[in-house]
Amino acid sequence: MSARLLAAEQPEDFEFNDEFSKLAQARIAMYPEGKQASAIVPLLWFAQKQHDNWIPEAALRHIGDMLGMAYIRVLEVVTFYTMFNLSPVGKHFVQFCGTTPCWLNGADAIKNVCKEVIGNENTISEDGEFSWLEVECLGACVNAPMVQINDDFYEDLNEDNFKKLLEDLKAGRTTNVGTQVDRLNAAPCGGITTLTDDALFDGSMVGSYKQVMQEIEKVEAEAKKVAELEAAEKAKEEAAEKAASEKQETKPEVKEAVSVKADDGAVSDAFKPDMLSEARNGEADDLKVIKGVGPKLESVLNGLGIFHYSQVAAWNADQIAWVDSKLKFKGRIERDGWIEQASSLAKEGDK
Ligand code: FES
């Protein structure tokens, strides 16, 4: 960072001329009452524009008075920004960027040209045409190395084109602002490498664009359909899980039998379940759908007075033990889950 000192020789006073006074007042009026200090940067810029590209101390005091700011506050702002010159500069003021991207791309050669053609930093050339200052990044790194001369950027510099540029400026010739090589704005050297199809810009792709949009809409519609199917499937699975868990919850609880078995496995008739002399309405349930019950066993069950799922579903542990002993099943009724099966079947419809 360069030292920010006020010039040794200063004019006595400073006043904005009509043009800049109007601009300054308009800028101040943009801020709410009490916030006029916010206009300091544009006012400093106007002072520099009016005063040969540098700001005298009298202008700093004048601006401080206009904005109701202490002079030291104005000085703090003006010395922070290298865009403000605090001493006279050449007619063509060169701000040379020496920050890393520019330095890596050959800024040293540009600096040497400044020294060789103009002289030491912060001094005006003998003919009054030039002065230069090293500054931090000016934001055009992609086209490094670069300099700012007065209000213009010159980019992609090298020793030769920079020397020529200074010669042209001195001679009053027109110069090419911006890049000095075969480059469009900040595109790659030698021409753009992307978006090169003319059809992108001549309107001929409007039809294709419509086609693409239609394809996108189609894909989106398909995706929506798949999502809906997946959601429906998921809802179905959740409903099945819920039904299963409800069924689980309502599963009949078979308490442990308390019936006393004789040595031969017989169970007292006190635990005999309710039996029917015949099927209700003369129509028995198909007991064969219960696992382990075949035609023969169904006939035995009917003979005992068991015709309906609801009868089986209603058995408690002692009654199961009684039926088990009669059929000599040795626990098969429980193992095969007759009670659970009969409960489900009874819900579906007992006769
Ligand atoms: S580093 Fe030079 S412009 Fe950014």
Q: Please report, for the domain that includes residue 52, its CATH number.
A: 1.10.10
Mean pLDDT value of segment 135-149: 96
How many structural domains is the chain composed of?
3
Q: Which of 179, 212, 229 is the last residue of a domain?
A: 179
- Percent of the chain whose pLDDT exceeds 90: 63
61 and 105 share one domain? no
Q: Is the CB of 273 under 6 A from ligand 1?
A: no
Report whether residue 157 contacts ligand 1, using a CB cutoff of 6 Å.
Answer: no
Among 179, 206, 237, the domain-final residue is 179
Q: Is 230 part of a structural domain of the chain?
A: no
pLDDT on residue 4: 79
Q: What is the pTM of this model?
A: 0.56
Average pLDDT over residues 135-153: 96
Tens of pLDDT, residue by residue over 95-131, are: 999 999 999 999 999 999 999 999 999 999 999 999 9
Mean pLDDT score across all residues of the chain? 90
Domain boundary among 179, 212, 237: 179
Asked, for residue 278, whether it belongs to a domain, the answer is yes
Domain for residue 280, yes or no? yes
61 and 116 inside one domain: no
Domain that holds residue 146: 92-179
Does the beta carbon of 135 lie inside 6 Å of ligand 1? no
- Tell me the average pLDDT across 197-211: 81
Residue with tokens 């701000």: 95
Shared domain for 98 and 172, answered yes or no, is yes
Q: Please give the structure tokens belonging to residue 22.
A: 């109007």
Q: Which residue has the tokens 């035609």?
A: 295
Using most ligand atoms within 8 A of CB, pick from 95, 102, 156 the residue to mutate for ligand 1. 102
pLDDT at 226: 95
Residue 345 lies in a domain: yes
Residue 351 pLDDT: 57
Ligand 1: atom nearest CA of 101 is 1
Say if residue 112 is in the same domain as residue 39: no
pLDDT tens-place string over residues 1-52: 556 789 999 999 999 999 999 999 999 999 999 999 999 999 999 999 999 9
| Whether residue 150 sits in one domain with residue 103 | yes
For residues 24 and 58, membership in a common domain is answered with yes
The confidence band for 190, taking pLDDT boundaries of 50, 70 and 90, is confident
pLDDT tens for each residue of 306-325: 999 999 999 988 888 888 88
Residue 232 inside a domain? The answer is no
- What are the helix (H) ranges across the chain? 18-28, 40-50, 57-67, 71-80, 100-104, 107-113, 159-171, 206-249, 295-304, 309-313, 317-327, 332-335, 338-349
Q: Beta strand 147-149 with 152-155: parallel, antiparallel or unpaired?
A: antiparallel
Give me ligand 1 centre to Cα 277, in Å. 106
Asked whether residue 175 is assigned to any structural domain, the reply reads yes
Q: Is position 195 within any domain? A: no
> Does some domain include residue 3?
no
Structure tokens at 246: 């409800």
Tens digits of residue pLDDT in 217-269: 999 999 999 999 999 999 999 998 888 887 666 655 555 666 656 666 678 88
State residue 93 phi and psi, 5-degree precision: -95, 115
Residues 342 and 274 in one domain: yes
